[in-house]
Chains A and B, each alone.
Chain A
């Protein structure tokens, strides 16, 4: 008989209203230990509210939150085992870097000496060891972002909740943060994050939950989502003259066709479509000058899933 490790976080049928606005409307999810779970959705979809409920900062109007941190079932979060990087994040500008990190580690229950040691380790890891005594205002924006990230995980949490961890980062730092999050997962930390950078999430997340207007619009691994949407290959064609979209959409195996530019068209082809026959048919009717193939990305799935939905006008109250 095998014993399954219980989820580290379970949200059941969560609902949260702000005045007349339903920010979260019946979302349920379970986070397994050691996974990276990404919440995707447009601004105002309810991701941040859901994360705050998961952190115990907000109480849901309906539903239940359960934790399995440290292997112990609990109804309340243990902040010493959780790390949080908020979307709206700041720094105490007039404080030296090491003291800042040690403070947040201490607030998360770490002993001061351990906190200083761990802060130094992370600063060394991110190339900031020589800036440990500098005030935060003297650091570049990129370095400040690194310090913010460290402050959320310096106490070695079991569960890291990262709200928009890639927001405002340049491509180099995006890659760095991606590597750091993987490192965290490899060291045993479970990660729940929200993001808008689909290509990063596609590379990083074990599982994805698409949220639209406070509800789950899709969930699973990226591969499962692809299969669920029946998305196979995308053909990008450049042809002489203007392509006839009606003709293209009528072809066997083509799910959708859309013009992407002058003489350019994108075809979404079903996974098991007869490609050679399809190309032959196209070649007979159109003068094809260029042909490329692409796999349908998470971005495509996201746009199709949540696109076109008007974002709810969220109250400015974060709470």
Chain B
């Protein structure tokens, strides 16, 4: 049997073992429910920057307009105060503002809201304007006093737009989630096969390298499906939140560059290959996953991904550019740079070449460790033994 066919058989087997449509559907529904629930709670608990509607009594004292910043004011007579207070108490209204002259006022709410400081600042602006007008200055002088300072900003290293940064964070989070999902499955799969004494049956039929490769392909598929499931839940959440709460999320300009998106995705996929090969080797030298201190090696990929999160805010820094080229950090940092800034073609090409070389190397080493590690039952090989396996070609 050809190595390719063996790889595909194993990949298909691993994929079918862990991807079960019913479980995926339930998982997606739970994720969506959690997103909606979380957003609902956030909306109840905080203002979220959305419009705030207030009933106002004594609006003339400050000449309060119907709309100011994100506040909307609904004027009422003083006689309505008791009724309005009741409405606040009974949750029928968020707040009532009572203006007492141009220097003081009261805000009737159930609990102090996050926007109260913002409201106070907006009212202060109105009060200052009112006092200046009352001082008798001529309109030209008044306008000169109130003229804002015109500050023009020239950025040497412009920060990416909010949309780009959000996209980069989402992409990184998804990559990290996919990475850990896949590594988790690899760990469970490999240590489970060792504990269930299945290694010999498989290794007598196909080469350890084909087994590793099949696992990596199949479990990458599992990770990708899990990520797609999450993305799908996220998209449904966005649509529903728009319908329910009229939310909108700024789209990154990268959306118009599918080539960049594909390149970023490709790099993330190469990162998966690198870390999954690494993880198969680690799992093969773990005897009891519950008691092995080698589980700590699971954190290595996380450490390598951390710079990518930091790179979002400063994608042009020298250290970011270096880490975007060198494996294994390039798997996380380069996609970020692609999404938030311009990347020279040679940087991408160099990073891809180095990452592919690293994958070839780690896959080869993983194959050696895996072949012998999978046949070792009952104890974990020492690091010295692992080093010997790595030195000795079969």
Contacts from A to B (Cβ < 8 Å): 52, 55, 57, 59, 79-80, 82, 84, 86, 88-95, 99, 103-104, 106-109, 151-152, 316-319
Contact = CB atoms under 8 A, between A and B. Distances in A.
23 contacts: A52-B200, A79-B1, A79-B205, A84-B201, A86-B201, A89-B197, A90-B195, A91-B196, A93-B196, A94-B17, A95-B17, A103-B9, A103-B13, A104-B205, A107-B1, A107-B6, A107-B202, A107-B205, A152-B201, A316-B379, A317-B376, A318-B376, A319-B376
B206 A91 contact: no
B260 interface: no
Nearest to A56: B204
A86 B205 contact: no
Given A86-B197, A88-B377, A319-B372, 15 more contacts: A55-B204, A57-B204, A57-B375, A79-B1, A89-B201, A90-B195, A90-B197, A90-B201, A103-B13, A104-B205, A109-B1, A316-B377, A316-B378, A317-B372, A317-B381
A8 to B, nearest CB: 16
Contacts of A89: 197-198, 200-201
A88 B376 contact: no
Given A95-B17, A106-B9, A316 B376 contact: yes
B391 interface: no
B257 interface: no
A316 B378 CA distance: 7
Nearest to B10: A107
Contacts, number: 77
A318 B206 CA distance: 18
Contact of A79 (B9, B206, B394): B206
B231 interface: no
B200 A151 contact: no
A317 B380 CA distance: 10
A91 B375 contact: no
B203 interface: yes
A88 B195 CA distance: 10
A88 B203 contact: no
A107 B378 CA distance: 26
Which A-B residue pairs are the 9 nearest by beta carbons?
A90-B196, A90-B197, A86-B200, A109-B1, A84-B204, A107-B205, A88-B197, A319-B375, A90-B198
A86 B204 contact: yes
Contacts of B377: 88, 316, 318
A191 B1 CA distance: 22
A107 B376 contact: no
Contacts of A316: 376-379
A92 B10 CA distance: 13
B200 A84 contact: yes
A108 B1 CA distance: 7
Contacts of A94: 17
Contacts of A318: 200, 375-377
A207 B200 CA distance: 26
A318 B379 CA distance: 11
A114 to B, nearest CB: 13
B196 A107 contact: no
A52 B200 CA distance: 9
Tell me which of B10, B197, B206 has the highest count of chain A C-beta atoms within 10 A of its own C-beta.
Answer: B197
A136 B113 CA distance: 59
B203 A57 contact: yes
Nearest to A89: B197
Nearest to A80: B1
Contacts of B375: 57, 317-319
A106 B9 CA distance: 7
